[in-house]
Structures are given as C-alpha cells and as structure tokens.
Amino acid sequence: MSVTSAASATLDDLTATARQVRQDIIRMTYHAGSGHPGGSLSVTDLVTALVFHELRIDPEHADWPERDRLVLSKGHAAPALYSALAHRGFFDPKILPTLRELGSPLQGHVDHRKLPAVEASTGCLGQGIGMAVGMALDARLARRPSRVYAIIGDGECQAGLTWEALMAGGHYALDNLVVILDRNGLETDGKTEDLMGIEPIADKFRAFRYETLEIDGHSFPAILDALHRARETKGHPTAIVARTVKGKGVSFMENKHAWHGKPPNREEAERALAELGGTL
C-alpha cells in the first residue's frame, strides 16, 4: 500500500503542491463558470498538508478500513480537495476541468456517492462535523487506529448544529478527532464578526474540552507542528484555529468577500494564474 508516512513530503514539496492546487482552483472555477475560489484558496495549505503529509491513506485502496478520514465540512471548498486528491493519485487530474458539469464526479459540493475518495457528502454547513464525530466514535468502538480530521469554516461556526457535534466530541473525549477551523474571517455577505461574531472562538473550543491551538494557516511548519501535537494529545479532541486569508495567493482576491462564490472571467483567470506561476 502507498500509505503516507509522517515524513512523506518536504516543505518544498508541500509549497510546490499547494501552488499547483491553487492553479487548479482558478482553472476549475473559470471553466465551470461557477464555484467558490475564495474559500478554496484559503484552505489550500491545510488540505495540502493533510493529503500529502499527515493522512494514512492509500490511493489504490480508497476504502482501506484503517485509513485516516478527512471530512471537508465546508463542502463548497471542493476544488481544493479535488485537486489534492487527484495529484495524490486517487483519480486522473485530467478530469479536473469537468468541475460542476452534468454527470461529472466533481460536484460543486463534495459528494461521496460520485467520488468514493471523498469521505462525506457535505455542503449544508454544520453536517460534516457531525459525521466526523461519528466516524471518530466508530473508529474507537471498532478499535481501529484511524484518525479523523474535519475542516470547518468560520461562517459554519454560526450554526448551532456545529456546536452540538463539537459538544459530543468533547464529551466522549475523542482524541482521534482533529477539528481544523479555516478562520479567514469572511463569508458570503461580508466579515464574519460583522454578521454574527464568533469570537473568542479559541476559548469556545476550550470550553467544549478541546486541546486548542492557534496557528498561521499558511505556514507549513506551523501546520505540521500543530498536527504533530494533535497526534500526541490524549484524552481530548484537538481544535486547530488556523488564521487564513480568503483568496490566498491571488492579490486581487485576497481578503475580498466578493470572491466567496464568484468565478473569475478569462482576464481574471489569466491574471491570477500569472501570479501563481501558471497559464490558463
């Protein structure tokens, strides 16, 4: 099995892969004429670190029972996950441009029924984290070594369902569960703190009995260190509050909530790809 190990990718490897994922996000949303580039770009480094360094997974056996699970609870960031899974060998990268096409396995929000490499169908915010808690509890009961990683969005933290699931994770002391918050501070209509503030978010995770870490979500050393610390934590689930930038890597998209769900036109896509070292 081509299972990842804890030292499977160097920092240079991760940086280069993240750049490729960002290029794919721009191409995919441009070709689709729809999608969510802003949040996909903000979560890219987190997804890259997980798929290419942290997760115990095997592209040739996607259903390996003892694999680690990655649940993208913020399912609209699908392009980032699709690109990472493709380049990790789960499917042919040539189908990436079919994002959102009728009949494509690359749905606008990740769909396990269409693409088995995806662990959970998500998109209705708050549901993915609940499934992740269930997976972590199941792994414990079955005595499997699997770890479960759930990536949630900050707008998602406004949903009561999210906190009900988080409460269960803390109550059952699921130390095989890692919740990663993509804290880019923006959602569809503007700043999270203006619309429905969630701060002090780290204190809230701690109150729900999570070992809580706050990091730069675009620093691979910080991300890998936090993931290592999560593996070493016993008796509590871990929450990683990753401070990120919506639209990271594309200057005119960074920190602009308008790019939450707006695809680039041809001129914008060419400009973005030039900044990322690619072409359309």
How confident is the model at residue 3, as a pLDDT?
53
In a domain, 5, yes or no: no
Q: Who contacts 121 (Cβ-Cβ below 8 Å, separation ≥6)?
A: 75, 109, 110, 111, 112, 113
- pLDDT digit string, tens, across residues 243-280: 999 999 999 999 999 999 999 999 999 999 999 999 99
1 is a domain residue: no
Whether 6 is covered by a domain: the verdict is no
4 domain residue, yes or no: no
| CATH number of the CATH domain containing 178 | 3.40.50.970
For 177-206, what is each residue's pLDDT tens digit? 999 999 999 999 999 999 999 999 999 999
Q: Is residue 280 in a domain?
A: no
Q: What is the dihedral of CA 43, 45, 49, 50, to 10 degrees?
A: 10
Residues of the domain holding 19: 11-275
Structure tokens at 186: 């923006």
Residue % of the chain over a pLDDT of 70: 97
Amino acid at 76: H
- A 10 A CB-CB count for 201 gives 18
Backbone Cα Rg of the chain? 17
Q: What pLDDT is recorded for position 5? A: 44
Q: Which residues of the chain have pLDDT under 50?
A: 1-2, 4-7
Q: Is residue 41 part of a domain?
A: yes
pTM of the model: 0.96
Residue 40 tokens read as 């996909």
Task: Write down the pLDDT at residue 9.
Answer: 79
Judge whether 55 lies within some domain: yes
- Residue 7's pLDDT is 46
Q: What is the identity of the amino acid at 144?
A: R
Beta strand extents in 165-232 (DSSP E only): 177-183, 186-187, 190-191, 211-216
Q: How many domains does the chain have?
A: 1
In a domain, 171, yes or no: yes
Listed as own residue / partner, the contacts of 131-135 with beta carbons closer than 8 Å and 24 or more positions apart are 131/71, 132/69, 132/71, 132/73, 132/165, 132/177, 132/179, 133/165, 133/166, 133/168, 133/169, 133/172, 133/174, 133/177, 135/69, 135/71
Residue 129 CB contacts under 8 Å (≥ 6 apart), including other chains: 71, 73, 150, 152, 156, 161, 162, 165, 166, 179
Q: Which one, of 100, 109, 147, 104, lies nearest residue 128 by Cα?
A: 109
- Encoding tokens for residue 191? 């700043």
Separation between Cα atoms, residue 65 and residue 178, nearest integer Å: 19
| Mean confidence (pLDDT) of the chain | 96
